[in-house]
Chain A
Amino acid sequence: MKKTRRIIALFLVLMAFTLAPMKAEAQVLMPDPEIIIQPMYTNINNFISSFDIDDDGRVYIYIIVSARNCDKVRITAYVDKYIDGVWTQIGVWSRLEEDTFCSLSASQFFVSSDEQYRLRSYAYVYSGGKLVESDMMTSRIIST
């Protein structure tokens, strides 16, 4: 009986060693993307925003807005840097499409290391020259 107990205890210890780092690794290396489903829009169909900074400090932004019952869609994106306790805007991009769909991509912007950055994405939908809907999204903070 003692032997069996020892074997079970050894097995549990090994399992604990095995499971703990796996869980930690999944969380640290790749945070899950988010799909938020909510009945909140009148014209916007999908609003997707992606923000990434590679090891060289190159910033990758990709935003898509698709809408309905509209004639223009605009996307504006701001990259903010955390300086002395305040988020300060360091880059801005904008694109207007006379369509129900608009995409914005940027990859020629570089940032310095050991700092914190975030992306603010804005979607504007127009119909007959008037703004009918807008939304804003802030990304997760990325530390370089």
Chain B
Amino acid sequence: MKHNSLMDQNHSLELEKNFLKHIGYEHGNLLCDELDQKEAEWRDLKTPESLDRWFYQFHKKYKRRIQRRKFTSSFIKKAAIILLAFLGIQAMLITTVEAYRFRFFDTIINFTSKFTQIDFVENEPDDMVNLPKDWAGKYYLSYIPEGYQLVNSEFEHGNGYLKYENGLGEVFRFFWISGESTTLRTDSDDKDMKKVMIHDEEAFLLKKDKMINLHWILNQDILTLEATGLRNNEIIKVAEKIKQLK
């Protein structure tokens, strides 16, 4: 049982290590002696020229590959830092300097305009035919419900209205109001208010008695449609087809 003790085990491990060290040392000495003995013999040994050339080319390529790898890695790091700094400065300038912002967006618009764009255009009749000849109001209706005719219109500095009647006493009006201080007050019972979307804008559809009102904000302008003889879907269709004069 004695040889199984921990001390015995460590002792045998040390012996093995020393034995291996000794063998390695002696083997190294033997190799060195052999190399010394054969040095003169090997010095006269001739290697083929093709092998020299191959080795020279291989070494050259290897060095070049290492250099290229080093250069690429350092170049990518520098380029990334410069790009990040450039983007950061751009973002700051765009948001803080108005003149730079305009110039930046102008550049984008110029780039875009160089492309040819083909859009699908709905086959509609001339939608401005019902407006007065000298119409310069900001908006107009490109869809008018059947039976309605324009009876009155007005525009003044980004504000205006259009009034349509159908001959049965039913009226609908479209008005748009802009300005630094613009407020609309409208009447409704809560239960008759619905939120609808006119393209991407949230609109309020309100119903009281026979009157339907549709209000929404577009480009900081308040747009309103009020009607007595139209259904909800029809008034929404009118709103969706509103166009801005270019």
Question: Which residues on A are within 8 Å of B, measured CB to CB?
Answer: 10, 14, 17-18, 21-22, 25, 30-41, 44-53, 60, 62, 64, 66, 68, 101, 103, 105, 107, 119, 135, 137, 139-140, 142
Contact = CB atoms under 8 A, between A and B. Distances in A.
B178 A50 contact: yes
Contact of A21 (B96, B180, B209): B96
A22 B154 contact: no
Contacts of A68: 209, 211
Given A33-B221, A105-B159, A107-B157, A21 B184 contact: no
A48 B175 CA distance: 10
Contacts, number: 146
Contact of A36 (B96, B158, B179, B185): B185
B220 to A, nearest CB: 5
Given A21-B95, A35-B217, A60 B157 contact: yes
A10 B181 CA distance: 40
A105 B177 CA distance: 11
B163 A31 contact: no
Nearest to A141: B181
B183 A52 contact: no
A31 B156 contact: no
A50 B181 contact: yes
Given A17-B95, A64-B161, A36 B187 contact: no
B10 interface: no
A51 B157 CA distance: 11
Contacts of A32: 217, 220
B188 A62 contact: no
B197 interface: no
A39 B211 CA distance: 14
Interface of B: 84, 88, 91-92, 95-96, 154, 156-159, 161, 163, 173, 175, 177-190, 193, 204, 206, 208-209, 211, 213, 215, 217, 220-222, 224, 226
A119 B180 CA distance: 12
Contacts of B213: 45-46
Given A33-B222, A50-B181, A64 B186 contact: no
Residue among B96, B154, B181 with max Cβ neighbours from chain A (10 Å): B181
A49 B190 CA distance: 23
14 contacts: A18-B95, A33-B217, A36-B185, A36-B186, A38-B185, A38-B187, A45-B186, A50-B159, A62-B156, A62-B179, A64-B161, A103-B161, A137-B185, A140-B180
A52 B182 CA distance: 9
Given A18-B95, A22-B95, A48-B224, A139 B181 contact: yes
A40 B177 CA distance: 22
Given A64-B175, A105-B154, A49 B183 contact: yes
| Across the A-B interface, the 7 shortest Cβ-Cβ residue pairs | A50-B179, A52-B179, A62-B159, A140-B181, A41-B187, A33-B182, A139-B181
A110 B70 CA distance: 71
Residue among A38, A47, A66 with max Cβ neighbours from chain B (10 Å): A66
Nearest to B222: A33
A49 B182 contact: yes
Contacts of B159: 50, 60, 62, 105
Nearest to A15: B91
A80 to B, nearest CB: 13
B186 A46 contact: yes
